[in-house]
A = this chain, B = another copy of it.
C-alpha cells in the first residue's frame, strides 16, 4: 500500500467538497424556517445551522435588522474582527474576508493574566479590554465566554468606542443565556443600539461565531 494512494472505497459517500456544501445548505433550507429573521440574515442563519448540525437552532436566533448590512459594510471597509477565543479566529476562512481583515484575539497576550487579576474578572474579559483601542467600527465576535460579553457591554455603557456589529454567542451553563439576554435587551435597557446577532439559551460557541463571521464576510455562499 502506498500511503498517498486512494484507499479502497468501502463506503458510499459524497466526497466532493462543493457538492457537500450544496446538499447541506439545501437540506437545511428544507428542514428549517427563517421567516422570523431579517431577509438578509437568512444565509447567515443557514451557515450557523450548518456548523452545528441542528436545524432547530434557527428558532433561537435573534438578529438585529441592521446587523448584516453593518457587519458587511464594516468588513468591506477593512474593519478588524475582535474575538474572545483563538478558536473563533482559527475558524474564520481567510479567503472569504473582503480586505484581508485582521482577526484579533488578546487571550494569549502576556499582559492578560495580570490584567484579569487587577480587574477581578476572567482572562477572556480582560483580553477584550486590551483590544479597546481597536473597538471603533470593528466587528466583535464573542464565541466562548459569557464574562467577555458582559464585560463588552459594560465597557460600551461606560463610553468605550462603538463597534459596527456584535456577534454575541457565548456558550454554557453559567451566565451564557443571561449575557445574551443582556445583549438583546441592551437597546431597551440602556439605549445601546448597536446591531447584534445572538442565540437565546445555552447554545453557542466558537464554531457558531466563526460560521456567522464567514457568512457575513461575503454574500456568496
Interface residues of A (CB under 8 A from B): 1, 3-11, 13-17, 20, 23-24, 27-28, 50-54, 86-87, 89-91, 115-116, 118-123, 125, 129-130, 132-133, 146-147, 150-151, 153-155, 157-160, 171-176, 178-179, 182, 190, 201-207, 210
Contacts and interface: CB of A to CB of B under 8 A. Distances in A.
Contact of A28 (B52, B122, B173): B173
Contacts of A24: 172-174
Contacts of A16: 122
Which 4 A-B pairs rank lowest in CB-CB distance, beginning with the nearest? A53-B202, A90-B90, A7-B154, A3-B132
A172 B133 contact: no
Given A13-B150, A50-B172, A6 B207 contact: no
A13 B178 contact: yes
Contacts of A155: 3, 7
A214 to B, nearest CB: 12
Contact of A210 (B6, B87, B146, B160): B87
Which of A5, A118, A119, A207 has the largest count of B CB atoms less than 10 A from its CB? A207
A10 B205 CA distance: 24
A4 B150 contact: no
Given A27-B174, A53-B171, 11 more contacts: A1-B158, A3-B155, A4-B130, A6-B121, A7-B155, A11-B179, A13-B146, A15-B120, A15-B150, A89-B90, A90-B91
B157 A123 contact: no
A20 to B, nearest CB: 5
A22 to B, nearest CB: 9
6 contacts: A1-B158, A5-B119, A7-B154, A7-B158, A13-B147, A87-B87
A118 B178 CA distance: 50
Contacts of A28: 173
B91 A15 contact: no
B160 A3 contact: yes
Contacts of A115: 4
A147 B118 CA distance: 47
A133 B2 CA distance: 11
